[in-house]
Amino acid sequence: MPDIDIDFADRDIILSQLEHRVAKLNTGKKHNTGVYATEIPHNPIDNLATVEHKAADERGYFKLDFLNVSIYKDVKDNEHLTQLMEREPLWQLLEHTDFSDKVFHLNGHGELLKQLKPSSVQQLAATLAIIRPAKRYLANSNWNLILQEVWTKPTDNSYYFKKAHGTSYAMACVVHMNLLCEELSS
């Protein structure tokens, strides 16, 4: 089954409107983001699925991950979001840890950002992929090699970002960077 992540400024708003079941981890605890919008065996008291989410996937149950992405709380409307996405960010700000530490998913990776100096969504997506264990070895490589190898699935099943995932996170970073710049200029 595909892994579907949906971002919300406040996931509780949609969950209050949607009949759903909460996904279960192999520890027996609830999955932080996973829900089923279809029927699945569950405990009627706490709404928790009785089947662990990986086993549920093997049985054909379809899980969605509803994610809280707080940056969207500052987006005024669809037009504002489009403007934030289309505006070229000040890429060189990522070389300043005091700025990059405020950006969604980039916090704590200032040294890598200074080293790679991403200057496009494609390069930022690749940088986000390099943060993950399977592609960390590319951190000291040039952009030609990085872009050639970063989206190749690892043969050892180690954790990596697919290109679509990296690109969507990079776009969220662009939105957040532009929101931070708007905040600074007002």
Residue type at 142? Answer: N
Six-digit token string for 120? 């496009």
Q: Cβ(94)–Cβ(103) under 8 Å? A: yes
Please answer whether residues 139 and 131 qualify as being in contact, where contact means their C-beta atoms are separated by less than 8 angstroms.
Answer: no
Please say whether the beta carbons of 133 and 158 come within 8 A: yes
Half-sphere exposure of 37 (CA within 13 A, CB side): 10
pLDDT in tens, 28-73: 999 999 999 999 999 999 999 999 999 999 999 999 999 888 888 8
SS3 at position 34 = strand
**Beta-carbon-side half-sphere exposure of residue 130 (alpha carbons within 13 Å):** 28
Confidence of residue 159 (pLDDT cuts 50, 70, 90): confident
Rg value, the chain, Cα: 19
Q: 3-class secondary structure for 35-87? A: EECCCCCECCCCCEEEEEHHHHHHCCCCEEEEEECHHHHHCCCHHHHHHHHHC
Q: What is the mean pLDDT of residues 125-152?
A: 96
DSSP H/E element including 97: helix 97-100
User: Which among 48, 57, 3, 58 has a CA at the least distance from the CA of 28?
Assistant: 48
Summarised one tens digit per residue, pLDDT across range 2-31 is 678 898 888 999 999 999 999 999 999 999
pTM of the predicted structure, to 2 decimals = 0.79
SS3 labels along 103-148? CCCCCCCHHHHHHHCCCCHHHHHHHHHHHCHHHHHHHHCCHHHHHH
The span from the CA of 37 to the CA of 40, in Å, is: 9
pLDDT given for residue 69 in this prediction:
87
Rounded to the nearest integer, the mean pLDDT of the chain is 94
What pLDDT sits at residue 186? Answer: 79
